[in-house]
Structure 1
Amino acid sequence: MEAFKAGFLVGNREDSTFQLTEEHTNVDLVEGFLDNDYEDPDLDRFLEEYRERQPQVAVVGDAYSERDARRYQNVINGLSAEFPYRRFIVAPKCEEAFEILDPETTTLGYPNGKSDIQGEDLGPAKFRGWDTHILGGNPIDAYEAIQSLTQPTLDDRPPANVVGFDTNVPLRMAYWEYWTPEGWQDNGSMTPRETARRSYEEIKGYLQEKGVWPDTEPVELYGDPVEEPEEWIWMDAGGDPISDLEELEKAYIGQYEDRGKVAFQSEAEKKFTEYREGWQRV
């Protein structure tokens, strides 16, 4: 939630979810990114999850061999026809993959995190001329990778078109520290959510300063994941008004003629107020 509000496209690995509960009645968070489980890859399982979630961006797999590359490319050929205007990423882990993968349908993943084979091992020059996504690492390492992939070369090789960067470092460290360009900082008395929020704000500020932040943010395309009331906030009898975002995420929202959007603490209170006041839903 904090990442999406800060301007990031959010998602999950195929074996995990957003972990929203039945209490999150007022949350509709898009799954825009789907990563594969690189430690336990299973293409059939991945395809099942892809068709269920239908993300905008997906990491299909790591191509350690010519056979891997052909298999992933065949899958992408089918997916790109079934789901147009999506981005499909394959991380090449061998020289042969560059010859087999199709730049018309496939984005190269530049391994930059915990992978056993890094993009530098294969050589940034291999990725030039391709749409390329930086896979993992902290923002400073990612920016250095972007420079390696795009700076002018003596032989005038075309730059890579770096289209994205993903990281989970704010979540991994949210109980203890938040990320800044100067290093990790102790979170003091902040909650894990507040700590993650600070990391995302710092990451965004750093990338904006470097000139590599996109002009359009996902929240502008998909809309706010939490509806906010326009006039009043109603609660159960004797309750206090909704005072923070986490309470609002658990609210029940109704939209009514002449009233706009109204938030309730419970479904029962919402129905009772509609009946008592004679409010007509829009």
Structure 2
Amino acid sequence: MEGFTEGFLVGNREDSSYQLTEEHSNVDLPQGFLDNNYEDPDLDRFLEEYEKREPSVAVIGDAYSREEAEKYQETIDVLSEMYPYRRFIVAPKCDAAFDVLDPGSTTLGYPNGKSPVQGEDIGPAKFRGWDVHILGGNPHDSVEAIEKLTQPTVDGREPANIVGYDTNLPLRMAYWEYWTPDGWQDNGGMSPRETARRSYREIKSFLQDKSVWPDIEPVEIYGEAVEEPDEFLWMDDGGDPIGSREELESAYVDEYVEKGTLVFKNESQKKFIEYREGLEKV
């Protein structure tokens, strides 16, 4: 939620839940990014989750051989027909993968995080001329990778087209520290949500300063994740005002013909007020 609010496309790994619970009854986050479990890859499991979540960006897998690259490209050929206007990423981990993957449908993942094979090991030059997504890493490392992939070369080689960068650092460190361009800072007793929010804001500002932030943010495409009532009042509690963003996220909000958008503390009270007032939903 904090990442989406600050302008990031949110998602998760295919072997993990989406981390939303019944407590977030008024939150509707788009599952925009789906990563694979590179330490335990399973294409069938991944595809099952892809069909459930239908993300706009998906990391299909890591190609350590020509055979794996061929398998992933065949998968992308099918997916791109079924799910047009999506981005499918394969991380090449061998030279042969570049000969098999199709630049017309496939984005290259540039390994930049914890993978045993890094993009630097393969050679940034091989990624030039492709659409490239930076896979993981510290924001400083990501900017350094972008510079290597796009800076002018003496032979005039075409730069890579950087289309994305992902990192889970703000969530991994949210109990202790937040990221800044000058290093990790103690959160000083802030909650994990506050700490993550600070990291996202710092990372966004850093990338904007480096001119690598996109012109359009996900909220402009998907809309707000939290529905706002016309008046910030609990309709079922004598008009007491909502006290925090967290309360609104756990509320029950609906739109009615005569009353507009109303907010309720829980589902049972929502149903009771709807019955008592004869509210008609839009």
Indicate whether the TM-score tops 0.5. Answer: yes
Superposed CA deviations along residues 201-228 of structure 1, whole A, max 9, x for unmatched, are: 0000001111110010001100111101
Q: What is the aligned partner in structure 1 of residue 171 from structure 2?
A: 171
Matched, 1:195 2:192: no
Amino acid at match of 1:118: Q
Superposed CA deviations along residues 91-146 of structure 1, whole A, max 9, x for unmatched, are: 00001001110000100000000111110111110000000000000111000000
Superposed CA deviations along residues 217-244 of structure 1, whole A, max 9, x for unmatched, are: 0011001111011124215447943211
Give the superposition deviation at 1:252: 0.8
Superposed CA deviations along residues 7-53 of structure 1, whole A, max 9, x for unmatched, are: 10000000112221122211111100000000000011111111111
Over aligned residue pairs, what C-alpha RMSD do you find? 1.3
Matched, 1:138 2:144: no
Alignment of 1:21-170 (within 5 A): 21-170=21-170
Q: What is the aligned partner in structure 1 of residue 246 from structure 2?
A: 246
2:232·2:241 contact (CA, 8 Å) conserved in 1?
no
2:236·2:270 contact (CA, 8 Å) conserved in 1?
no
Matched, 1:259 2:263: no
Residues 20 and 248 of structure 1, relative CA distance in 2, 3 Å threshold: same
Matched, 1:15 2:22: no
Give the superposition deviation at 1:255: 1.2
2: CA distance between counterparts of 1:240 and 1:82?
49
Deviates more, 1:14-23 or 1:33-42: 14-23
Give the superposition deviation at 1:269: 1.9
Unaligned runs of 5+ in 1: none
Superposed CA deviations along residues 163-213 of structure 1, whole A, max 9, x for unmatched, are: 000000001100000000010000001000100000000000001111110
1: CA distance between counterparts of 2:237 and 2:143?
53
1:235·1:242 contact (CA, 8 Å) conserved in 2?
no
Unaligned runs of 5+ in 2: none
1: CA distance between counterparts of 2:118 and 2:46?
23
Amino acid at match of 1:104: G
Question: SS of the residue aligned with 2:27?
Answer: coil
1: CA distance between counterparts of 2:277 and 2:52?
41
| Percent pairwise identity | 70
2: CA distance between counterparts of 1:237 and 1:173?
38
1: CA distance between counterparts of 2:235 and 2:268?
11
Give the superposition deviation at 1:274: 2.6
Amino acid at match of 2:175: Y
Give the superposition deviation at 1:261: 1.0
1: CA distance between counterparts of 2:43 and 2:278?
53
How many aligned positions are there? 282
Amino acid at match of 2:144: E
TM-score (norm 2): 0.97
Give the superposition deviation at 1:262: 1.1
Matched, 1:218 2:218: yes
2:232·2:242 contact (CA, 8 Å) conserved in 1?
no
Give the superposition deviation at 1:268: 2.3
Q: What is the aligned partner in structure 2 of residue 268 from structure 1?
A: 268
Residues 99 and 90 of structure 1, relative CA distance in 2, 3 Å threshold: same
2:14·2:34 contact (CA, 8 Å) conserved in 1?
yes
Q: What is the aligned partner in structure 2 of residue 181 from structure 1?
A: 181
1:236·1:269 contact (CA, 8 Å) conserved in 2?
yes
